[in-house]
Amino acid sequence: MCDQSVRGNGAVRVSRRGASILVCAIITGLGLFAAPAFAGPHVPFSASGTILTIDTGDVRPAGQSGRFIVRDRHITGTFTGSIGGTTGMPFVITYDSNVPIATQSGRIHARMIAGVYEANMTLASSTGPTPVECETPDGATCFATPGGNFVPGLLLNGRMNFLSGAKGQGNVTGWLIPILDEQGHIISIAASLLTITGLWTQ
């Protein structure tokens, strides 16, 4: 079909097809300006916080292997630093894992949300001495190391990648002293520290 024209003042002609293309171009342009953009160089970031709570999540035995499959378990805390400033910002980390009950060591896949920030995390947990000092080493509740005697716990190391709020990647490090029930499951956290560092742009 031939384009029909809209006449204006006898001098300007705009076809309906041309008008449609122009309108689409304007809408697309407005959409691009409205979309969030991260500009500028990547700069260092660092935030730390303690874990305040841990819920039960969905924990099930992996057959008779002595391992347990954990789904959608949540830990909460508060960050200060590049996220949270000096007043602090609450965070929630939802994680999945498959770990032996005896050591709680293994791979952890998690997602962090803190205000406008959201990130994927891939971590490894292992048992070892935490920075919390103790007096008399017994090989169970107090470890002797060349640097002193320390309470054992879970050590965390891994990587993170921002999904929203910023663009960048970083490292995740931390430790926690878990409180266990009679079966060896974590029911609360006695002491902890979680730190994220890396490069981002906002």
Q: Which residues pair with 185 in a beta bridge?
A: none
Burial group, residue 128, by CB count within 10 angstroms (0-12, 13-18, 19+): middle
Confidence of residue 40 (pLDDT cuts 50, 70, 90): confident
pLDDT per position as a tens digit, 109-133: 999 999 999 999 999 999 999 999 9
More confident position, 31 or 86: 86
Confidence of residue 38 (pLDDT cuts 50, 70, 90): low
- What 8-state DSSP symbol labels residue 115? T
Extents of the domains making up the chain: 5-34, 43-201
43-201 has which CATH code?
A: 2.40.160
pLDDT per position as a tens digit, 137-147: 999 999 999 99
pLDDT per position as a tens digit, 174-200: 999 999 999 899 999 999 999 999 999
Rounded Cα gap, residues 44 and 53, in angstroms: 28
pLDDT at 6: 44
Confidence of residue 90 (pLDDT cuts 50, 70, 90): very high
Owner of token pair 């879970």: 154
pLDDT per position as a tens digit, 55-81: 999 999 999 999 999 999 999 999 999
Rounded Cα gap, residues 17 and 43, in angstroms: 47
Owner of token pair 């742009």: 201
> How many other CB atoms sit within 10 Å of the CB of residue 145?
10
Burial group, residue 135, by CB count within 10 angstroms (0-12, 13-18, 19+): exposed
More confident position, 53 or 5: 53
